[in-house]
Amino acid sequence: MCASAPKAPLPPHQGREATLEILSAPVASHVLSSRVLPRGTCGPTDPEVPATRLFLAVPKAPAPEAGWPILYLLDGNAAFDFLTPALLEAAPRLIVAGIGYDTDKQFARAHRIFDYSPPETPGAAPRPDPHHPERLAGGAEAYLARLTGGIRAEVEHDLPVDPERRTLWGHSFGGLFTLFTALTRPGSFARFASISPSVWWDEALVTRLVTQRSIAEGAPRPLHFGMGDKEKRTGSAGPQPEGPPPPTLQMIERLQAAPAGLEIAAQVYPGAVHIASLPASLPGALALASRS
């Protein structure tokens, strides 16, 4: 475990609405925009499910010959809600793409849980959520195919992107999806940032993913973890935790014991509850994605 980050403040928006102030703020380094992506190429096909909304920050400077690196942020509504001009201006040569939902909320709760949760076995059909059987889970394979297919094509169309410097970031269930992607399709991104991954959701499944993981060709791919030391599941009883989530630490230790194909790093955000680990992770994620 690497050195701890400075104490993370609680996020400015603990409610449900996404204010997205960054879209109207003056940013010296980037041009920002937002649009809904077409269902025909990006899905979902179910008209009852919100369409995909893209939040995009593109550098104003001329692109390098190989193209810009790009950071994909899951839960784009929330991620861009916590972005600031100073964060973007500290990464002036990085495209930042928030992949969210066409909603005015920070999180599309039921839809993200379905999209970001792994199937029980490769190719398995969706199943009832083991914690909330009234809703379905297990859509991560299909969502990953959309993300690296139609969604990526729409995001990167007419943008000078370096395909060797794509980074995927996710928080909570998005962190679980990022971990799933790194372990099953490590060649789909060059770098991964899994923040407070929802390992608790199915610890046995996560253990199988770690044990049976795929290994990409070439140099080890960075897989960075971040978590608070005050994290507690929403609605769970008991005192405030003292220290990072044990299931996450145990999973990281298993990965570090057999590091082939992955470059593991982990960081703890002192005093951070679960939601606070999201904004606390952004400076590190932007730096990771900007690396040469």
Which residues are catalytically annotated?
A: 172, 231, 274
CA dist., res. 187 & res. 269, Å (int): 29
- Report yes or no: 217 and 156 within 8 Å, Cβ to Cβ: no
What is the Cα gyration radius of the chain?
18
- The secondary structure of residue 103, as a DSSP letter, is S
CA dist., res. 89 & res. 257, Å (int): 37
Q: Which amino acid is at 1?
A: M
CA dist., res. 8 & res. 35, Å (int): 31
- The secondary structure of residue 12, as a DSSP letter, is S
| Nearby residues of 231 by Cβ (< 8 Å), 6 or more positions away | 196, 241, 244, 245, 272, 273, 274, 277
- State in Å, rounded, how far the first CA of the chain is from the last one: 23
CB atoms within 10 A of CB 141: 17
Q: How do beta strands 52-59 and 30-36 pair?
A: antiparallel
Sign of dihedral through CA atoms 266, 270, 275, 278?
negative
| Nearby residues of 253 by Cβ (< 8 Å), 6 or more positions away | none
- Report yes or no: 277 and 12 within 8 Å, Cβ to Cβ: no
Q: Which amino acid is at 271?
A: G
| Adjacent-strand bridge partners of 195 | 171, 226
